[in-house]
A and B are shown apart, each in its own frame.
Chain A
Amino acid sequence: MGDQSNSPSSSIDSSSHPALCSTSSIFQTRRDLLSTDLKLGLGLSTSALHGCSSKEREQLSHWPPIKPLLRSTLEEKVHRSHSKTFFVKVYMEGLPIGRKLDLLSHNGYDSLMRTLRRMFRTTITCPDTSRVPPEKAHVLTYEDEEGDWMMVGDVPWEFFLRTVKRLKITRADKC
């Protein structure tokens, strides 16, 4: 009992009748199915689910035993973290050629600002500094899901990641 090295096929005899099979081997298959699914780990996304049979997909949605509301909240979080990269276009005012930046490789605004300053070799000021920015400085703006251009930094980082479509570095005196 519980010997994980038993392969299911070796204990099924020549008769294919389900009731005559060793119950522990079928039990093993059931456990293996779910264990394998669980071990698929971060690679599993909803698109990967289409590769499973409908029975397997059903099994997946029944384990672990958590209620639908919690499951959908967690799946939302998983959706966001599955795409290990999130590249957005970054343009600087005056430069026709833009760059691309992976937002998920940063853990907050500070990290993002540092990378952009390095990439574009310019001072990018934050909205909460009270110093009057010199003419040469820039501010960072982004286009949100509604198409509006907003100042970067006002909303929590996780929220920003959900709504940002692209970035633009504009001259400070325009804001």
Chain B
Amino acid sequence: MTYFPEEVVEHIVDFLGSHRDRNAVSTVCKAWYQVERLSRRNVFVGNCYAIRPERVMARFPWMKSLSVKGKPHFADFNLVPYDWGGFAQPWIEAAARGCPCLEELRLKRMVVTDDDLELLARSFPNFKSLVLVSCEGFSTDGLAAIATYCRGLRELDLQENEVEDHGCQWLSCFPDSCTSLVSLNFACLKGEINANALERLVARCPDLRSLKLNRAISVESLNRILARAPHLVDLGTGSMTVNHHTEAYHRLINTFLRCKSLRSLSGFWDASSCCLQAVYPVCVNLAALNLSYAPAIQGDDLIKLICLCFRLQKLWVLDCIGDKGLAAVASSCKDLQELRVFPSDIYGAGTTAVTEEGLVAISSGCPKLNSLLYFCYQMTNTALVTVAKNCPHFTRFRLCILDPGKPDPVTNQPLDEGFGAIVRSCKNLRRLSLSGLLTDKVFLYIGMHAEHLEMLSIAFAGDSDKGMVYVLNGCKNLRKLEIRDCPFGDDALLKDVTKYETMRSLWMSSCDVTLRGCRALAAKMPSLNVEIINESDEADEFQENLSDLHKVEKLYVYRTVAGGRTDAPDFVWIL
């Protein structure tokens, strides 16, 4: 056997970026495991309960960047109770003890407290980047600690977090010596901001390229900020309430004229059509545009704006754009790769919303489309077949028909064939969300054709256990399966229990699995944590009296080497 000196192996391994490749290398032999673990700089933990933090720190002592995810995805839609878990504390404490060279931390759907943030700020002298996505449990006091103690901070990116407002002083905590900021995103903060402090901060950070403001920043402030940072590449505006008679509006036009590097725009809180003209000068260079928080921008003004952005690759918009608007986008934005159309009327059957026509138009005009999230009131099989033919490159396809279980309105048939066409045509499909009326057949198609599928979301679909079994048997690369309100029960759950060891997690809520089935799963597979979430008030009384045939409200199963977790609240039973 040829002997490779460790330095050579290390050099080769350095070229490996992906976690998957590095994980594979580490299983070859003990020597390679050692080389790999000491040279790994980026560590990704997809489920914070799959492994104890101390083990991660011990294995990768020279880790520079750590990314951890907590709650299951359906937590985004309020399906996971508030105090279910996903605490950042043990991770930050372990990192503080074991990996002092940590530079970057990214947390998603985790509970982060102010104390955690303060510990973070004080423990890592080289800390450069903090990204918190859909987290909660902290306030602006925690941000103050980050600002105060992280010398050399380059990135503070807060995406869609629930942050308690304890005042605007946090921004003033960035010392005068802080000149290193490259990216600052506080769009999710609900409170007031010290605009002066922000302007001074922006003025002294010449490398600032990404800035996302919150709703409290007025147009006047935006003008002053942009004047100091004309090299911004990515901008999230503050509140865009401006009357086009005012001087602020005229200054806005001039400011945007000077922002020649802008490639991405978002925000537009409270924006109405009259402020849009100010943005026209930058449209021609825009690669990404997010108008999903601007329900007042509608009709022709909206269409005109988007059609000026002919280099657009990513568009997030509300469904008030309509089918006509999407057709216009399809003829102007030929480079479009990612489209998200969100619902603007969540309580009623809107008449101005988009239908299958808009999607078909986009698919025929934008052949590079590979990522879709589309909320609509109806979809037809014919449309989906056409879309599948036009856009075989989908990697992410998420369709949400707002009326659960709605059939094809033209034929009254389920949408099995339509989704079947999608999975047959899109050989690289990694993520799929289904909706509308669907029988077991769609799952047969998915199992047969969706070879690379990693994440599948199902709601109000299927006829029987066979549906779920098709998926579990067929999708070899499945990592996350999340199901709600489907008639899948114990037989499906227990058909192939070893499958769950190959996946990150399984979520089932409002299905037909019973306590007996869950207990059986837990008994057969000690390498899985089987969690039952029962929030109903009767749960306490029934705990002893609960028959095995009692249907489980919410089930969350995940593979783990950490054993049962000790931080679960009362309503979570770990079997």
A residues whose Cβ falls under 8 Å from a Cβ of B: 1-2, 17-19, 23-24, 26-27, 30-31, 34-35, 38-42, 44, 58, 61-71, 73-75, 77-78, 128, 153-159
- Write the B519-536 contact mask toward A (1 if CB under 8 angstroms, else 0): 000000000000000000
- Selected from B245, B402, B510, the residue in CB contact (under 8 A) with A154 is B245
Complex: A18 Cα to B404 Cα, angstroms:
22
Q: Is the CB of B489 within 8 A of A38?
A: no
- Selected from B160, B274, B402, B405, the residue in CB contact (under 8 A) with A67 is B160
Q: Is the interface of A mostly helix, strand, loop or mixed?
A: helix
Complex: A163 Cα to B375 Cα, angstroms:
32
Would A67 and B76 be within 8 Å (CB), given that A24-B487, A30-B510, A156-B243 are in contact? Answer: yes
Q: Is the CB of A71 within 8 A of B346?
A: yes
- Write the B383-414 contact mask toward A (1 if CB under 8 angstroms, else 0): 00000000000000000101111010000001
Would A155 and B241 be within 8 Å (CB), given that A64-B400, A65-B400, A77-B295 are in contact? Answer: yes
Within 8 A of A (CB), among B225-242: 241-242
Most-contacted residue by chain B among A61, A70, A159 (CB, 10 A): A70
Within 8 A of A (CB), among B327-380: 342-349, 375
| Min distance, Cβ A86 to any Cβ of chain B, angstroms | 16
* Chain A residues closer than 8 Å to B345, beta-carbon distance: 74, 78
- Selected from A24, A26, A40, A154, the residue in CB contact (under 8 A) with B463 is A24
- Selected from B134, B293, B549, the residue in CB contact (under 8 A) with A18 is B549
Contacts A1-B439, A62-B77, A74-B343 aside, 13 further interface pairs with beta carbons under 8 A come to A2-B405, A23-B487, A30-B510, A34-B404, A39-B349, A44-B348, A64-B343, A65-B400, A69-B160, A74-B295, A77-B344, A128-B245, A156-B274
Complex: A35 Cα to B246 Cα, angstroms:
46
* Chain A residues closer than 8 Å to B246, beta-carbon distance: 154
B residues whose Cβ falls under 8 Å from a Cβ of A: 76-79, 134, 160, 162, 188, 241-243, 245-246, 270, 272, 274, 292-293, 295-296, 342-349, 375, 400, 402-405, 407, 414, 437, 439, 459-460, 463-464, 485-487, 489, 510, 512, 514, 549, 551
Q: Is the CB of A23 within 8 A of B512?
A: yes
Q: Is the interface of B mostly helix, strand, loop or mixed?
A: loop
- Selected from A17, A27, A40, A154, the residue in CB contact (under 8 A) with B485 is A27
Q: Is the CB of B76 within 8 A of A65?
A: yes
Q: Is the CB of A35 within 8 A of B78?
A: no
